[in-house]
């Protein structure tokens, strides 16, 4: 039996691109604080990335330059986000992606990235469902019957990821531990 946290924060970021260490930035961050498996709080903020949002990114998440004009910059948002998350572990779908943007933003803002555990629902799904050919959020939502509202927006994705994590967590806790869970470092 694999014991996973019941108290955690699910996080998702929408961005200007895929490369945080090459200048791509967060344009939206959303999070759900979960206590004993139930949603206990919600955090959401559009973020002014300080650069134009490329058309290819806009086509994915629908966030435009006009949407983020006048919004706070990440240096203002990060302290609020970290206050919301406390010291809880963070859960994300493709956690390495979200973590890389959060770490890059911390570095750009001169803030220390708080040390904490990141759990990845892709890695958990690969552990629980080695038979599935795809572990992206759309495929897993379809497989588990999770309705995803507002796909590729931070809150829509965190709500789906929360539901997915809870299903996977319960499956891990009920199943005998046939092999160790060896998630790749996130």
Distance separating the N- and C-terminal Cα atoms of the chain: 22
Estimate the share of the chain in helix, then strand, then coil, as percent rounded to the nearest 5: 40, 20, 40
* Mean pLDDT, residues 151-177: 92
- Cβ(168)–Cβ(128) below 8 Å: yes
**pLDDT number for residue 183:** 55
Q: In this predicted model, what pLDDT tens digit does every residue of 75-102 receive, in sequence order?
A: 999 999 999 999 999 999 999 999 999 9
SS3 call for 153: coil
The CA–CA distances, whole Å, from 28 to 100, 104, 160 equal 15, 15, 16
Distance CA 166, CA 122 (A): 13
Who contacts 122 (Cβ-Cβ below 8 Å, separation ≥6)?
93, 94, 95, 135, 136
Q: How far apart are CA 89 and CA 130, in angstroms?
A: 24
DSSP H helices in the chain: 55-61, 65-68, 74-85, 95-109, 121-128, 137-144, 154-174
- Spelled out in words, what is the top-level CATH class assigned to the domain 8-174? alpha beta
pTM of the model: 0.93
Domain ranges of the chain: 8-174
Q: Is the pLDDT of residue 178 over 80?
A: no
- Secondary structure of residue 29 in the 3-state scheme: strand
- For the stretch 11-42, pLDDT in tens is 999 999 999 999 999 999 999 999 999 999 99
Question: So what's the pLDDT on residue 2?
Answer: 77
Distance of CA 57 to the CA centre of its chain: 17
H or E element that contains 41? strand 38-46
């Amino acid at each position: 039996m694999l014991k996973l946290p019941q108290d955690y924060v699910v996080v998702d970021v929408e961005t200007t691109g895929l490369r945080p260490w090459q200048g791509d930035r967060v344009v939206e961050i959303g999070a759900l604080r979960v206590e004993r498996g139930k949603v206990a709080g919600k955090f959401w903020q559009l973020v002014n990335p300080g650069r134009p949002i490329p058309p290819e990114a806009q086509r994915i998440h629908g966030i435009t330059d006009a949407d983020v004009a006048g919004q706070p910059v990440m240096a203002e948002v990060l302290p609020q986000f970290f206050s919301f998350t406390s010291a809880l572990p963070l859960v994300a779908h493709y956690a390495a992606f979200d973590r890389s943007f959060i770490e890059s933003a911390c570095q750009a803002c001169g803030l220390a990235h708080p040390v904490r555990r990141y759990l990845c629902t892709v890695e958990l799904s690969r552990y629980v469902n080695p038979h599935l050919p795809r572990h992206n959020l759309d495929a897993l939502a379809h497989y588990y019957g999770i309705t995803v509202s507002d796909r590729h927006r931070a809150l829509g994705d965190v709500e789906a990821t929360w539901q997915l994590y809870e299903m996977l967590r319960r499956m891990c806790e009920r199943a005998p531990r046939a092999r160790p869970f060896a998630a790749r470092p996130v």
